[in-house]
Copies of this chain bind each other. A is one copy, B any other.
Amino acid sequence: MKDLRLKAIYNQTQVFLDELMVPANDRAYLFGDAVYEVLRVYHTKPFLLAEHMARLARSLDAMEIKGVSDIRADILSSIALNEIEEGMVYVQISRGNAPRNHSFYNQALTPNILISAKPFLTHPTLKEAECGITVITHEDFRWGRCDIKTVNLLANCLAQSKAHSLGADDAIFIRDGHVTEGSSSNVFLVKDGTIKTPPLSRHILPGIRRQFLINAFCAEGNPVIEQPIHEEELFLADEVFITSTIKEAISVTMIDNKPVGSGERTIATLARKLIVDRAQL
C-alpha cells in the first residue's frame, strides 16, 4: 500500500506535513498575517499556474510582504513528492517571525513559505457536481479587503459552519443588499440566458475560475455581464452556480430553503465542462 503521509515543503525543506511545527511567533499565528493560494492539480500538472502566481504576487504586494522568490519549482516538487495525479496544492506565505507587535513597519522580516499538496483519491466534488448544493444567504461581515487572499478567514469559517449547522452546504454573502461571494467561491447567476456575476471590487476575490469562465463564455459567444447582483435576483434566477479552484463550477439548487428556478442546470454544466475540458489539454 502506498505511503499516504503527506509531504510538504517548508522554507525549502522537505517535511512530513503531520509533523510540521512552526514558530509561535510567526505572524500568521499571532495576527493571521499571511496570504495563500490553492491550486488544482489535473494529471500531475497545476492548472492555471501562471494565473495563481500572478494573484499571489498581487496579494504579497498589497500586504507589503517582501523577499519572496519564485516558488514554482517547489510547487512542482510538492506534486512530485506526493506522487499526485489528481489533487491540490496549498501555498501559504506569512510575513515572518517577530515578537508580537501589530506594526511591521521598517521590520526586515523573512517570510515563511509553506507548500503542501494532497492527492484526491476520489473526485472531491463529484457528488456536488451531480446533485448541486444548498446554500444560505449570510450577511457579509468580512473585512474591507476581500480582494486580497489572506488567511484572515474567520468570517468565512463562521459563515460556512453556520450553513452546515443549518443543514446547508455553504453560504452566499450579502453586503448592503447585494451578492458578493460564497464562503470560498465566486457566484454566478443566469436569467433569461444572460450570465451575470458581481464586478470586481474590494469585497470580491478575483477568482481564477471566475476570470477563466468570463473569458471562456465570451469565446462561446455568451459574454458574462459583470454587474452588481441584488439579493432578490438570486430568487428570480433560472440558475445560480458557484465557482472555485476545487469546486470548479457547481449548481446551487436551494437558497434559504427556496428552490432555484425550475432546476435548470444548462449553463452551470457548461461552465464545469469548459473548465474541465481545458484542464485536460
Contact = CB atoms under 8 A, between A and B. Distances in A.
Q: How many copies does the complex hold?
A: 2
B24 A156 contact: no
Interface string A81-107: 000000000101000000010111110
Contacts of A23: 20-22
A37 interface: no
A114 B24 contact: yes
Given A22-B29, A102-B157, A153-B31, A144 B141 contact: yes
Nearest to A22: B24
A64 interface: yes
Nearest to A23: B21
Given A32-B152, A141-B145, A160 B102 contact: yes
A53 interface: no
The size class of the interface chain A forms with chain B is 35 or more
A183 interface: yes
Given A24-B22, A139-B144, A143-B143, A33 B106 contact: no
Nearest to A107: B161
11 contacts: A20-B25, A21-B21, A22-B22, A22-B29, A28-B29, A29-B29, A31-B154, A103-B157, A142-B143, A143-B155, A150-B154
